[in-house]
Structure 1
Amino acid sequence: MHGHSHAHAHGSSTRAFAAITLINLAYTALEAGYGFATDSLALLSDALHNFGDVLGLGLAWGAAALARRRPTERHTYGWRRATLLSPLANATLLIAFSGALTWEAVRRLGAPPQIPGMPVIVVAAIGIVVNLGAAWFVRDGHANDLNRRGAFLHLVADAAVSLAAVLAGVGMLTLGWSWLDPVTALLVGVVVAAGAFALLRDSFNATMDAVPDSVDRAAVQAFLAAQPGVSAVHHLHIWALGSDEIAMTAHLVRGDSDGHDAFLAGVVHALDQRFGIQHPTLQIEHGATCRQDAHGDAVQHHH
């Protein structure tokens, strides 16, 4: 028996992600352009940080669009897994960029060049407005929608990073502290690298079919083992189908109990409600012909 509970993205959610992705992309291009023009690492590092979030927002947008693609004869799960592979590539790219920026910032600390403070202040101030405006755009439902919550928190954090760049610009303009530019870039580079490493770890685990962080495998096993008539649970596998869908397979040894259809319907519903597992596949075994294999899983013999 198979349980289905698809979480299709609403059109308004798709439009919200599309709008803030494009707005942030336009601002990132503007900030990078001014960063190169003024030779400001603070602006370039903030542009990198924003670019990382544009990639993340683009994924959220893409996930909403990909969820509508129907499975095919060849791609029976559809295209959900693309939302797990893209973060892996994006995290690798961000780590490489932040490494290059950090290296340049450290190199500049010895003899920081003179950076015009006013362009840094103006461009970074625009960033605060853009990011807070975009956060306001996705504020509705961010407490319940993980996709929106992630976007909301990232955008607020971006506004804080832009504020740091503004303060660096003020320091350079009023006090002549040219070292503030590479120091700000260094701090942002560390923030970007830390976030990228976390994303790399999570996306690598997801592509290797690890149990999602939101699911406690031991709790699922205990729940299944405690169901009426179940004497053993084998072959329990839990993995992410995409960024917001979880699949599971399990063999349940249930002796000669009756009412398997009603039993399966109840368990499938409970797995979705309690653990957020929307795609469980459960196999019922009577136990007489099962033995343990080398991994402690059940092997069923067919005569």
Structure 2
Amino acid sequence: MKKLINDPRAVVDESVEGFGLAHADLVTVHPEPKYVTRRDAPVAGKVGLVSGGGSGHEPLHAGFVGLGMLDAAVPGAVFTSPTPDQIIPATLAVNSGAGVVHIVKNYTGDVLNFETAAEMAQAEGVEVRTVLVNDDVAVEDSLYTAGRRGVGGTVLVEKIAGAAAERGDDLDAVAAIGDRVNQNVRTMGVALSACTVPHAGSPSFDLEDNEMEIGIGIHGEPGRHRIAMEAADAITDRLLEPILGDLGVASGDKVLLFVNGMGGTPLSELYIVYRRAAQVLAGRGATVERSLVGDYITSLEMQGCSISVLRLDDELTALWDAPVHTAALRWGV
């Protein structure tokens, strides 16, 4: 294992500390218990947005804390859910009286711990709503979740719900926007290599040089099937077919196309995937109105990518275009 780390047990602490130093103009890092808030939190009269999950998926979630997205992010250990003891103070810290929305990826630990934190926050007088993200079409069940996993679509939910909160929507309206995004986005991923969790010291699964795993999860969970390596266009088609079928993309639809790197894939290769995905969507009569390409929800150094397709309407497009200023996503400011 070759990694730029000191002690495997200190990876998250040192990484979050460095993140806070690098982006002190945007965020405040709270060390014990560990969570990250936007510098100006709480914002008077605004619904607060909190998300979180295991570390190792950077820039998710702390990289999306700031104007137009999250008010707080709660990092767990690598690939391990944050605890209620972290989530509760993060929730209280961003509550301005308008309530707080929790954006939760559908993994059992995340769901249970955010649920516990929401109950305890509500006992302290904070109204909480939860948006559950479950956009992964690869599997219905896994060791990590009951039902579909929350993956790449999480970024899109956080951006669009964050814009709704920033424009002044109330608690129920922000949660409804988040749910609407989740209902209209589907994702599927592929791994060309495994990742190595620092404290484990060995790859999370084994792939032969000529193999790939279709439908991989962001923690290295098994996918739909393992097959021989193919060319980029064939892989892209394999990922898109279940996405478009499940979403029911039809001629005339307007979509956002998001090609996400898993941490170890060059941007040049992600654009090859995007090129083919755009061709397939055009062949279906759909229009790619907005796009995003890059490493936004990763799995340490895993080689591979995921594709997300979000069906847009005028309101979702306007919210996507709204100003955002975070460490990892910024425009319009």
Task: State if a TM-score over 0.5 links the two structures.
Answer: no
User: Going by fraction, where is strand more abundant, 1 or 2?
Assistant: 2
Larger relative CO (CA 8 A, sep 6+): 1 or 2?
Answer: 1
**Structure number with bigger Rg:** 1
- Shorter-chain TM range is under 0.3
Comparing both structures, which one devotes a greater share of its residues to helix?
1
